[in-house]
Structure 1
Amino acid sequence: MAEPQRIVIVGTGLAGASAAGALRERGYGGKITVFGTEHHRPYELPALSKDLLLGKASEPTWVHEPSFYADNEIDLQLGVSVLEVRPGDHAVVDSDGAVRSYDRLLLATGSRPRVLPGAQGHVLRTLDDSLALKSVLREGRHVVIIGAGWIGCEVASAARTHGCRVTVVDPLSEPLVRVLGTEMGAMFRGLHAEHGVEFKLGTGVQGFTPSGLRLGDGTELIPDVTVLAVGATPRLELAEAAGLELADGGVAVDATLRTSAPDVFAAGDIAAHDHPRYDGRVRVEHWANAKEQGTYVAGPLLGEGEPYEKSPYFFTDQYDLGMEYRGLAGPDDEVVVRGDLAARQFIAFWLRDGRVRAAMNVNVWDDGAALKALVDAQATVTPDQLREAELGSLA
């Protein structure tokens, strides 16, 4: 396969920016054009709900230094969106009306926050969102957070750290229950309750009033600040209009992140990946996935064919709790705890058919390599081995 002369990347998030950098690191000498709707140069998202919101940092972690793009002859088109992808013509149309030809195209359009009908409040997805939210987290203010997922919990932690009164609303029984299950969700609820967060669980938002919101159980809340943390929606409009195959909530890609259209790839939040390690497609909306897929896809863009096989990974920091999670578990998987759950210093494993599907270390930092090996190999082990044996020997 001949080396492409023109590569276009749609999206200046972590996946798109990582791909552009990796292409140059591999020695690619052709033209790279990267389009992004934001006016900021590419940055990473974790600090937006962590250090930046807490006031520990004044800016995010930038993907590259300011001069990187010019120094490496990467045409960074900030504040310019792509309006149309024409796979048959190998071209895109941008918001300035220019038609840009490509030999290979990467879609890395990311996600947008979900919204609720009639809702007014803050969302958290961009640098500007984070700065706007931080500016209103003031001591004594009542902050109502709709949604008890990762963003909702991290915002709750930041708001309490700033001295806000915090109420978290979610129709599910526990925070994070869809990802971690009931037992681990209850652990996170206990952590937040100890820091003064009030939960309204098992009831959703019935409607919004001029002064606040009304819950399904009849409770009326009148917040000073409302935060909408009800998940994200992948930006699929370009792919769908271009006729690309969609599946499992994203753009269908094969093991090497190729889409159904010739010379078109997708990475990051939008990629529903035919993962060699799992049954069916996997779509992950986390920082590590965007970074790793972005770096990896430089190879397939240049004609390489090795599959992407990395296990999902994410982390969180809330109050004095630090956590890393590797793998992909389901709600019916068996949970095995090694360590002290009550003290929040433990490792949790998710088992399916006797094999390790996921592992989570909470305030335990010495076993990361062993946990990765167990998850990557989907090791066959017993619950007693996970509780008692030396983890490196199991891996």
Structure 2
Amino acid sequence: MASQIVIVGGSLGGLRAAEQLRTNGWSGELTVVGAEAHLPYNRPPLSKNVLVAPDTSALSATELVNHPGIALRRRAHVEDVSWVTGTEVVRAALADHVLHTADGRTLTYDGLVVATGLRPRRLPIDGFADHRHTLRTLDDAIALRDQLTAGTSVVVVGGGFIGCEVAASARRAGCRVTVVEPFAAPMLRPLGTELARTLQTFHEEQGVDFALGRSVSALVGRSSDPEALGAVILDNGTELAADVLVEAVGSQPNVEWLAGNGLDLSDGVLCDNLMRVEGRDDVVAVGDVARFPNPRFDSTPRRVEHWCVPGDTAYRAATTLIRGLSSAERGEGDPAPFTPLPSFWSDQFDIRIQGFGRTEHADRIEVLEGGLSPGWTSAGVVVGYFRQSTMTGVVIAGGTPAQRLRHKALLEGVR
């Protein structure tokens, strides 16, 4: 068996890949290369707990990495994994099994795991860098947290889950908040019109304003200090006061380091159902950088940007890579199809929105339990998403843990 596997990407996907490689019997050398200075941590709390929770409000990045709920426990069997942090792989020569890092290192490998994840997209407008934020890393969250003071005017561009979570946290911090969203309602694509508009009303009741069907055309400085952000100008000429701008306008995969190797990098890294990168026995991908087919739904390769994906794909990728590096196992038949059930959750004010499966391509949406009339938050609501009469997804807004488990089990049984 080969002796060296390198995992490129030091976040959750990289950690889960290392764990699964060891769990599945890989005893050779294992190195993880990560761009961040921090060891892996939990990202979902960044838009919520880190921004407004009293017990984290004064903590540094080093303290937060070890804080309960943010820290990711590393299992004992990965204690011998080598971590190279604070640098990134900038170029790969897959034919030669060589990687080059930004700080001048050259790494060789027998097996490679692509786990480089995503980075936030930015508005195509220059200026006011000190007052503009994205939210992907712990350092991003700390920089934003320090500017969310009571009375501050905050404009959030993008009404997806991250944008709405940030809006809720900013309101809880006492800020004046406006969400700018090009669609007709926030979270419209994953939730559908009725539930999205219901949640918009819920946000408005908490004091969040919305500018829907709009985009940002310009940024202007304050009259008293032109170097400081003062307002956001929308495409219809509306001017929104803004001390802080949060750009939650989507993400793009970190794949540039793989250019020049003949790969399809048009939307992440194209993989087969085994998580092999375009059929290569010695390269696999994990997490939201990987575009793979899920026969639970259809044969179209897709990226999935949900928290559960790194763990699910790491399990599949680890067994595939070990098998691909072992001449004794390579000729055996392929395992059963990989059919993970995507799941996500979003905490906004005191409501948890939890979803399972695929919801974006539904041709019918139906309320299964509860209702969307005023007062719905007390009992919650369960919404089913169907395509050609088959339920492909479910979202529970509010509700109880028992409801979530029951509907997840129900969806897991649908094929």
Deviation at 1:187, TM superposition (A): 1.3
Say whether residues 1:29 and 2:27 are aligned partners. Answer: yes
Distance 1:74 1:340 in 2: 50
1:49 aligned onto 2:56: no
Helix, strand or coil for the counterpart of 1:287?
A: coil
Q: Deviations over 1:298-347 (max 9, x none)?
A: 21121185343211110011111112100112355211112132313111
What's the counterpart of residue 309 of structure 2?
A: 289
Does residue 257 of the first structure (1) align with residue 288 of the second (2)?
no
Q: Structure 1 residue 132 and structure 2 residue 143: aligned? A: yes
Q: CA deviation at 1:268?
A: 0.9
| Conservation of the 8 A alpha-carbon contact between 1:181 and 1:331 | no
CA distance in 1, matches of 2:45, 2:311: 15
| Aligned twin of 1:349 | 384
Say yes or no: does 1:196 pair with 2:207. yes
* Contact 1:44–1:287 under 8 Å retained in 2: no
- 1:177 pairs with 2:213: no
User: How far has the Cα of 1:262 moved from its partner?
Assistant: 4.0
Residue 276 of structure 2 contacts residue 317 of structure 2 at CA under 8 Å; is this kept in 1?
no
Give the Cα separation in 2 of the matches to 1:228 and 1:367.
34
- In structure 2, the partner of 1:84 is 91
- Following the alignment from structure 2 to structure 1, what is the Cα–Cα distance between the partners of residues 272 and 152? 48
Seen in structure 2, the aligned counterparts of structure 1 residues 367 and 76 have a Cα distance that, compared at 3 Å, is same
Partner Cα separation in structure 2 for residue 308 and residue 45 of structure 1: 25
- Tell which deviates more after alignment, 250-259 or 54-63: 54-63
* Partner in structure 2 of residue 367 of structure 1: 403
2:338 alignment partner in structure 1: 308
Question: In structure 1, how many angstroms separate the alpha carbons of the residues matched to 2:394 and 2:144?
Answer: 32
Q: How far apart are 1:17 and its partner, in Å?
A: 1.0
Hey, what does 2:249 align to over in structure 1? 230
Unaligned runs of 5+ in 1: 380-395
Q: 2:97 and 2:164 mapped to 1: Cα distance?
A: 43
Find the aligned partners of 1:244 and 1:101 in 2 and give their Cα distance: 19
- For 2:327, the equivalent position in structure 1 comes to none
The 8 Å contact of residues 87 and 262 in structure 1, kept in 2 or not, is answered as no
Query: Do the aligned partners of 1:180 and 1:331 also contact (CA within 8 Å) in 2?
Result: no
Give 3-state SS (helix, strand or coil) of 2:192's partner. Answer: helix
Higher alpha-carbon deviation: 105-114 or 258-267: 258-267
Amino acid at match of 2:71: W
Task: Give the distance between the partners of 1:257 and 1:332, measured in 2 at CA.
Answer: 26
- Of 289-298 and 76-85, the range deviating more from structure 2: 289-298
Matches within 5 A, 1:30-179: 30-55=28-53, 58=56, 59=64, 61-65=70-74, 72-119=79-126, 120=128, 121-179=132-190
Post-superposition offset of 1:56:
5.0
Q: Is the 8 A contact 1:207 1:214 kept in 2?
A: yes
TM-score normalised by length of structure 2: 0.86
CA pair 56-301 structure 1, distance change in 2 beyond 3 A: farther
Quote the RMSD (CA, aligned, Å): 1.9
* Corresponding residue number in structure 2 for 1:214: 233
CA contact (8 A) 1:349 1:358 kept: yes
Deviation for aligned residue 1:361: 1.2
AA in 1 matched with 2:407 = L
Amino acid at match of 1:153: C
Instruction: Supply the distance in 1 between the matched residues of 2:264 and 2:143 (Cα, whole angstroms).
Output: 37
How far did 1:91 drift? 1.8
The farther-off stretch of 165-174 and 257-266 is: 257-266
Percent identical across equivalent pairs? 37
Superposition deviation, residue 242 in structure 1: 2.5
Structure 2 counterpart of 1:52, which letter?
A: V
- Corresponding residue pairs, total: 374
- Which residue does the alignment assign to 2:11? 13
Q: Measure, in 2, the Cα distance between the counterparts of 1:332 and 1:82.
A: 39
Contact 2:195 2:372 in 1 (8 A): no
SS in 2 for 1:203: coil
SS in 2 for 1:348: strand
Q: Secondary structure at the match of 2:162?
A: helix
Supply the distance in 2 between the matched residues of 1:228 and 1:282 (Cα, whole angstroms): 24
Q: Compare 362-371 and 317-326 and name the one that shifted more.
A: 362-371
The answer as to whether partners of 1:7 and 1:102 remain within 8 angstroms in 2 is yes
2:197 to 186, 190, 195: 186
Residue number in structure 2 paired with 1:339: 370
Provide the residue aligned with 1:299 in structure 2.
Answer: 319
Structure 1 letter corresponding to 2:345: F
The letter of the residue matching 1:109 is T
Q: Following the alignment from structure 2 to structure 1, what is the Cα–Cα distance between the partners of residues 34 and 107?
A: 14
